Structure 1
Amino acid sequence: MRILIVDDHPVFREGVRALLETHDEMEVVGVLGHGRDAAVVAKDQFVDVALLDVSLPDMPGYEVCRTIVEASPRTRVLMLTANDTNDVIRQSLAAGAAGYVLKTEDPSRLISHISAVAQGETVLAGPIAQKVVRQLLEGPQPTVSTKTNDALNALTERERQVFFLAAEGRRNSDIAQQLILSEETIKTHLRNIYSKLGLGNKAELRLFAVQARLAPPQV
């Protein structure tokens, strides 16, 4: 697993590098203190996961995320930051982030989150998920139901099965096993679902389902 670290705090980024290098399956192929070169490095180094701080000196982290996702679609971006404000979380997810984790996360859980993101999963750390889900549930609901019905009617029967399993927080491998399909087929169905529902990733699918009362607000 090839990893890029983008963070403007030298002590923190070197600490993360040291942590990752204790795991044989993880290789740190780049360490940057700014965002301007992140997309180029991600593409040229065939990065699997980019650990990206929201607060960078030259540009917002969510903008860096967007440039990485556009330049290197294979790269999964995990936002790793101390900033858990609602606007920043939404901007990061909208930019294509595969996850959002606080820097205070336990090291062993950080490793687990990175592995999950690399395998195609979406990660929202507990406090962040609670914050976003609570905001969605407290927001206006009337128009969501109509839009949801129209959107779900556009899905095929198999896509609806994948949608509801993904909304429960299931991993791609678990969905594949239950539906007796390959993981690549599940990924294809998810891409189709995202396109039809106007979503960017599994985190947005999960939040869409919670807001529409199609899945419980588990975190």
Structure 2
Amino acid sequence: MARVTDTDQVSVLIVDDDPLLRTGLRMMLDGAEGIRVVGEAADGTEVENEVRRTAPDVVLMDIRMPGMDGLAATRRLRSRQSAPEVIVLTTFDADSHVLGALRAGAAGFVLKDTSPPEIVAAIHRVAHGDPVLSPSVTRRLMNRVAESDQDRRRRQAQDRLAVLNERERAVADAVGSGKSNAEIAADLYLGVPTVKTHVSNILTKLDLNNRVQVALLVHDARAGEPE
């Protein structure tokens, strides 16, 4: 859900074990309009304390760290009430750990060699409630799941989605296809506020905390189907 308004500055916590990368990210973000770096952490074990201290809107989370990695830190952080949004930082767009972080509640990921304007745009997007993940990337990540695991995940996902009514399931399927609220509204002949209400109800019924998790659940339910 959106954490800031269009006029707010977005506060960011940087989490990475590489001090040079943290310094580079801080310098870049401190010069970006509408963004304010409020703290840094070098390991996943430091994240919760830093979040309590700085109350960031967005956490830039390295996926690979000694001690507690970004996956475990994301899972612990997103289980909190009023948790900040998480963007995973990774070296590889096909890193299997990224999928785990997305399932744990991260709003998306960016590569460490992503251009500064794109990183800034990603931060603003997740702070305003939009995921940073394309359907094609989701499919590539999902394809990394072992075939033996696919059937089990498909059955579990289909059982979970069965609690939704017909309209909610249509909205969930559209979210899984990467459509925005405006696109869903146009396709289903609904108002955007109505779509937002359906998305909120879907998150509550499925006990999920963002649209990325809905999209992954829909992809699980479709696993093995032709594109």
Give me the TM-score of the superposition, normalised by structure 1. Answer: 0.78
SS in 1 for 2:144: helix
Gap regions ≥5 residues in structure 2: 1-9
Compared with structure 1, are the counterparts of its residues 138 and 36 closer, same or farther at alpha carbon in structure 2 (3 Å cutoff)? closer
Q: Please point out which of 58, 65, 79 is paired with 1:56.
A: 65
| Inter-partner Cα distance in structure 1 for 2:215 and 2:49 | 31
Structure 1 residue ranges, 4+ long, deviating more than 6 angstroms after superposition: none
Structure 1 residue runs without a partner (length 5+): none
1:78 aligns with 87
Whether 2:43 is the aligned partner of 1:41: answer: no
Query: Partner residue of 1:118?
Result: 127
Distance in 1 (alpha carbons) for counterparts of 2:51 and 2:181:
24
Summarize the Cα distance change of 1:155–1:53 in structure 2 as closer, same or farther, 3 Å threshold. same
- What amino acid does structure 1 have at the position aligned with 2:32? H
Contact 1:21/1:28 (<8 A) preserved: yes
RMSD: 3.3
1:97-136 correspondence to structure 2 within 5 Å: 97-124=106-133, 129-136=138-145
Matched, 1:65 2:74: yes
2:190 is the alignment partner of 1:179: yes
Q: Equivalent residue of 2:122, what SS? A: helix
Q: How many residue pairs end up in the alignment?
A: 214
Give, in angstroms, the shift of residue 19 of structure 1. Answer: 1.6
Deviates more, 1:199-208 or 1:28-37: 199-208
Higher relative contact order (CA 8 A, sep 6+): 2
Mean Cα displacement is larger for which, 126-135 or 99-108?
126-135
